[in-house]
Amino acid sequence: MITLENVTRRYGETLAVDGLSLEVARGEVCVLIGPSGCGKTTTLRMINRLVRPTSGRIFIDGKDTSQVDPEKLRRSVGYAIQSVGLFPHLNVAENIAVVPQLLHWEKGRVARRTAELLDLVGLDADYAAKYPAQLSGGEAQRIGVARALAADPPIMLMDEPFGAVDPLTRERLQAQFLRIQQGLKKTVVLVTHDLDEAIRLADRIAIMEAGRLVQYDTPEEVLSRPVNRFVRDFVGADRALKRLSRITVKDFIKPARSIPLASTPQEALALAGGFRWLWVVDGNGRLLGWVDRNSLATAASVVEAMDRREAGEISITEAASLREALSRMLGLGFRHLPVVDEGGRLVGELSLPDVEAATTDGEE
């Protein structure tokens, strides 16, 4: 979908981008990352001709962008930036509608698209009438993404789109982006300085240094097989742990011992066998908590023996990463975690030895 052929950008004697060549496949997320001043934002801005290459060529869907009218090109490419750039005198609906109106969409179509996008980014319809000053940082970022998607462009360019918000909001926005991308399959080029964000969002990561491409590969390959010392140092000594954020719990689920809440302590102990604890479920299989066999021996009921922590505090979902699971295990002091589906029903458990094995799998 996007091809850069030996692209160079000079500012006087300074080489901002030096002979960069790479391809981004249709529907993939390519993340550009590297130290400050490595040329990643300049590269992004050359794709939609906000900056012109000094030499080299850029193709979008097989067309040389130097032969396309710049305004037409930019209207066909979504663009989201860290500072959001919402027009303060326009409300949310008017901000989202900027490009569709430039393309002369009729009013009904614009209104339908605005409502659709607000829903897509997880905001209520009443946000349409609000102004940028009334939005939180996370809400403004969502509107910025909605505006970039407004004309349904095949390509999205994103420059630190989640960089100006707190860590918790950032994580939620990343999850929202992944959900949207799973459904829309846009071709995305995203600039970030956050390696964890790159690992979480990217199909392929382009690591740059001093304007040159050092390694362009999947996150798994970058983490397990860095091409040189620069990449190895850049991804850090904890790259084995970082790999865990790319691996989901789903592939490591094992059967779990569980008992209905209505069981007597004697029935629970019989089911426990040689296991130290059991997961407790309701009549529909939803996780309620856990019990220790030592507590069962002296309790009058399973409810009395149950640990008092909420089921959501001790469980992990099938879609969660092994990194999240490991963090939860360490925080709780558990060697096993119950795994639940979206409805909170127990589907099995995850063990610490399996997580430990995944940290070394693929390492060289």
Per-residue pLDDT of 225-266, as tens digits, reads 999 999 999 998 788 788 888 888 998 999 988 888 888 888
pLDDT of residue 293: 80
Q: What confidence tier does 362 reach under pLDDT thresholds 50, 70, 90?
A: low
* Mean pLDDT in residue range 114-129: 89
| Per-residue pLDDT at 163 exceeds 90 | no
For the whole prediction, is pTM greater than 0.85?
A: no
Beta bridge pairs of residue 350: 337
Given a cut of 70, whether residue 109 has pLDDT beyond it is: yes
Comparing CA positions, the residue from 229, 234, 226, 181 lying closest to residue 33 is 234
Average pLDDT estimate for 141-150 = 87
Q: Which structural domains are found in the chain, ordered by start?
A: 2-246 (3.40.50.300), 249-360 (3.10.580.10)
What pLDDT does 23 receive?
Answer: 97
pLDDT of residue 364: 47
Q: Residue 114 has what pLDDT?
A: 93
Mean pLDDT of the chain: 89
pLDDT in the model for residue 361: 60
Task: Report percent pLDDT > 70 for the chain.
Answer: 98
Contact call for residues 28 and 185 (beta carbons, < 8 A) = no
pLDDT computed for residue 149 by the predictor: 87
Dihedral sign of CA atoms 58, 64, 68, 72 in order: negative
Q: Residue 296: phi, psi to the nearest 5?
A: -60, -35
Quick one: pLDDT at residue 275? 73
Q: Please, which pLDDT band fits residue 359 given cuts at 50, 70 and 90?
A: confident
Most confident of 175-189, 195-209, 271-285, 319-333: 195-209
Query: Is pLDDT above 90 for 28?
Result: yes
Q: How crowded is residue 31: how many other Cβ atoms within 10 Å of its Cβ? A: 25
The pLDDT assigned to 83 comes to 65
| pLDDT number for residue 84 | 63
pLDDT score recorded for residue 89 = 93
Q: Which amino acid is at 125?
A: A
pLDDT for the residue 360? 67
Q: What is the pLDDT of residue 264?
A: 86
Per-residue confidence (pLDDT) for residue 67, from 0 to 100: 93
